[in-house]
Amino acid sequence: MRKKALLFWVIIAGLLQGLAAQDKAQLEKERQAIQQELKDIQQMYNKVKGQTKQTLGQLNVLNRKIALQEQYLSNINKEIRNIDDDIYLSNLEIYRLQKQLDTLKIQYARSVVYAYKNKSNYDYLNFIFSANSFNDAIKRVAYLKSYRAYREKQVTTILETKDLIAKRKEQQLVRKDQKNSALTNQTKQVQELEVQKKEKATVVNQLKSKEKDLSTQIAAKKKRDKELNNAILAIVRREIESAKAKAKAEAEAKRKADEIAKANNPTTVIKPDNTGKPVDGGTTTTAVTTKRNEVAKKPESYLDLNSKDVALNSSFAANRAKLPWPVDNGIVALRFGNNKIENTLLTFDNPGLTIATPSPGVAVKAVFDGEVSAVYSLGDGSAVTIRHGKYFTTYSNLSGVTVSKGATVKTGQTIGKAGRDDEGNGGQIDFILMIETKNVDPLPWLRR
């Protein structure tokens, strides 16, 4: 029973070690991504950190930095738990090996005692020559040889088990050092997080004292967002109306073609009399029943009718969480939806993602294949709206545009350059995703 229990825990330990190896690789990949984003955001924050005027952009960058710092701490905590699990599993393995070693030593001791009691050459010869036949004597010689080999194997197994226990203990020391290093890093990152939170509190208090100025900034943003959203809605509705008119024209053309075909190939419809036979008693004809006043089913979307749109819509939907970012090394300064300024009553809705870039002028790229629906001016910058079937992406606050209306674009193709942010410190674009006339959060659609 004890052996079965030990075997069970050995199997569990092996499975857990395999899962731990996968978790370790995933944690390392996640940590590298967080560290890179922290590095990028720190470079961006350094540009606004020394300013005497506290701004909404500075607060947003700080908020993102704190969120990343908390993710980093969570990653470290997971690593520490994994190391503890590894140490526990290693202890189980050492315990199993030690029990195995004790059993091997007992068995070997017994064989040594037996060999000592029968160590004289006379006893060995007597054992062989007391055989009843020559074949029996040969078997006894073979037995003695195998017994000697068994004892040698016992010694080898004992030494190998000892060596394996020593290696496991060395690995434990390495993992304990790794845990100590992770705990040290954890303490350092907790202190860094506290510094960031204090810095954020200072910025929030200063913004609160300038709530009137901040309210003006937010009002200006709301106005720009409303203008942008109205412009996009007008573009989308125009595309829907165009698709609707095209669908109706195709349906009318098909109807006329059917009428012409029917006129060229008339079908005689003969009503039967009370006997069920044709009234003229002539040859058999096919009766055709025409449905009248049949109401055509309204399509769910006029932007999902032709084969090109159907393919685009299907492909776009299949690439959720895989779309490339519209800029390289960009960070989310303002998230989609409701944004609230802490310790104030100020709130605003963001129609998309406001993405900060290290500097103005960086390339802005299409996130998917499509056709440019419109290129237009908005405030001091330009905007581009691209249609991907029933999906629309808009790239606003561009300092320059490299595409024109009606142009076909490919995923990753440069369509313009990022303009300056509101404070004039770095670059910034507003990225909006709509499914027909509905705004949706672009973040879950972008590659993580």
For residue range 210-259, list pLDDT tens digits in order: 777 778 878 888 899 999 999 999 999 999 999 999 888 888 888 888 88
Min mean pLDDT across 12-21, 402-411, 412-421 is at 12-21
The domain covering 212-235+318-445 belongs, at the CATH homologous superfamily level, to: Glucose Permease (Domain IIA) (2.70.70.10)
What is the predicted pLDDT for the residue at 288? 42
pLDDT band at 294 (very low <50, low <70, confident <90, very high): very low
Q: Which residue has the tokens 């004890």?
A: 2
Q: Which residue has the tokens 């993405």?
A: 355
Q: Which two tokens stand for residue 233?
A: 């809605």
Q: What is the DSSP letter of 327?
A: S
pLDDT band at 348 (very low <50, low <70, confident <90, very high): confident
What is the C-alpha separation between 50 and 423, in angstroms, rounded?
A: 13
Q: Assess contact for 409 and 386: CB atoms under 8 A.
A: yes
pTM above 0.85, yes or no: no
**Mean pLDDT estimate for the chain:** 80
For residue range 262-271, list pLDDT tens digits in order: 888 765 444 5
Q: Assess contact for 416 and 364: CB atoms under 8 A.
A: yes
What is the C-alpha separation between 6 and 344, in angstroms, rounded?
A: 61
Would you say residue 77 has pLDDT above 50?
A: yes
Would you say residue 19 has pLDDT above 60?
A: no
pLDDT band at 295 (very low <50, low <70, confident <90, very high): very low
Contacts of 251 (CB under 8 A, 6+ apart): 296
What is the C-alpha separation between 98 and 118, in angstroms, rounded?
A: 30
Dihedral Cα 154, 156, 159, 164, nearest 10 deg: -100
Question: Angle CA(20)–CA(26)–CA(29) in degrees, nearest 5?
Answer: 140
The larger pLDDT score, comparing residue 132 to residue 288, is at 132
What is the predicted pLDDT for the residue at 292? 42
Would you say residue 418 has pLDDT above 80?
A: yes
Q: Where are the CATH 2.70.70.10 domain residues in the chain?
A: 212-235+318-445
**What is the mean predicted confidence (pLDDT) over 146-164?**
77
